[in-house]
């Protein structure tokens, strides 16, 4: 276990050095470095947007906006890498997602609660797209939408953003222990939602469609 830990440390150190080099090259306008940088993080940023809005075009738009911001910052020469690039990138992403959620909330039209339940079950809330999720994933998505925003953000950063708790700690400015507890609580709530009788009923209706 100790040897495995050392190997992981060496890997993360090598990745950090490589990332610093890529950032330096990209900030000088190196297109290959920029492509590699985008390749490393693009799908994680996209997954966070897609997980929140269930809309492919909107998720792409968010990713483009995030990387445009990053590119502009790098090109301006104002960014100095101190081993926190990933935290910063995810912060930009979270802010963009929050902005979009606020904009969507302002444009939302009050609707009959019963029809809202149906929309959630379809996984098409806010103009989202129908996908080929099985019943299990639909139930999971449904449960995720019922979580409070704070819990949902922790899960999104951890799973869609693939962030380590240490990076999440830098991003959210909270101790690692607090975040571990928050993650644990969020998973527990999610589990409870999925096991509730309402959820079972919804799952049956979804599978019966």
Partner 1 sequence: MTMENLNINRMQDNGLDADLVATSTAIDELAARDACAAGRGFEDRLAIATMPRIGARDSGDEIVYSFKAHAARDSWVRPMRLAAMIALAASAGFVWFATRPAPVAAPVAPEEVAAALSPVEQDVEVWLGITDTEIAFARAEVDELAIDSDILDESLGGEPSAGAWFLEGESL
Residues that bind partner 1 (CB under 8 A): 26-29, 31, 34-35, 38-39, 42-44, 46-47, 50-51, 56, 59-60, 63-64, 67-68, 70-72, 74-77, 131, 133, 136-137, 140-141, 144, 155, 158-160, 162, 164-165, 180, 184, 187-188, 190-191, 194
Tokens of 63: 């990713």
User: In the block, which residue shows the tokens 């483009």?
Assistant: 64
Residue 63's Cβ-side half-sphere holds a number of Cα atoms within 13 Å equal to: 23
* Sole residue written with tokens 């299990």: 136
Q: What are the residues whose beta carbons fall under 8 Å from the beta carbon of 41, sequence distance 6 or more?
A: 86, 89
Nearer to partner 1, 8 or 95 (CB): 8
Three-state DSSP string of 127-158: CCCCCCCCHHHHHHHHHHHCCCHHHHHHHHHH
Element (H, E) at 87: helix 85-107
Nearer residue to partner 1 within complex by CB, 119 or 164? 164
Nearer to partner 1, 110 or 125 (CB): 125
Distance CA(198)–CA(204), nearest Å, equals 10
Nearer to partner 1, 79 or 91 (CB): 79
Nearer of residues 22 and 107 to partner 1, judged by Cβ: 22
Q: How far is the CB of 17 from partner 1 (least distance, A)?
A: 19
Distance between CA atoms of 43 and 134, rounded to whole angstroms? 22
């Amino acid at each position: 276990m100790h040897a495995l830990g050392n190997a992981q440390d060496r890997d993360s150190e090598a990745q950090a050095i490589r990332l610093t080099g890529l950032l330096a090259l990209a900030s000088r306008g190196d297109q290959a470095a920029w492509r590699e940088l985008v390749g490393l993080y693009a799908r994680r940023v996209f997954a966070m947007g897609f997980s929140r809005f269930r809309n492919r075009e909107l998720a792409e738009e968010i990713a483009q906006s995030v990387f445009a911001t990053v590119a502009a910052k790098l090109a301006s020469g104002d960014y100095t890498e101190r081993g926190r690039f990933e935290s910063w990138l995810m912060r930009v992403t979270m802010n963009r997602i929050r902005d979009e959620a606020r904009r969507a909330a302002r444009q939302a039209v009050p609707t009959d609660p019963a029809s809202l339940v149906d929309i959630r079950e379809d996984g098409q809330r806010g103009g989202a797209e129908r996908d080929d999720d099985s019943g299990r994933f639909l139930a999971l998505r449904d449960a995720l939408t019922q979580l409070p925003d704070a819990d949902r953000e922790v899960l999104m950063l951890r799973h869609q953003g693939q962030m380590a708790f240490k990076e999440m700690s830098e991003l959210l400015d909270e101790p690692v222990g607090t975040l571990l507890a928050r993650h644990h609580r969020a998973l527990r709530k999610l589990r409870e939602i999925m096991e509730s009788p309402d959820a079972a009923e919804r799952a049956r209706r979804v599978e019966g469609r």
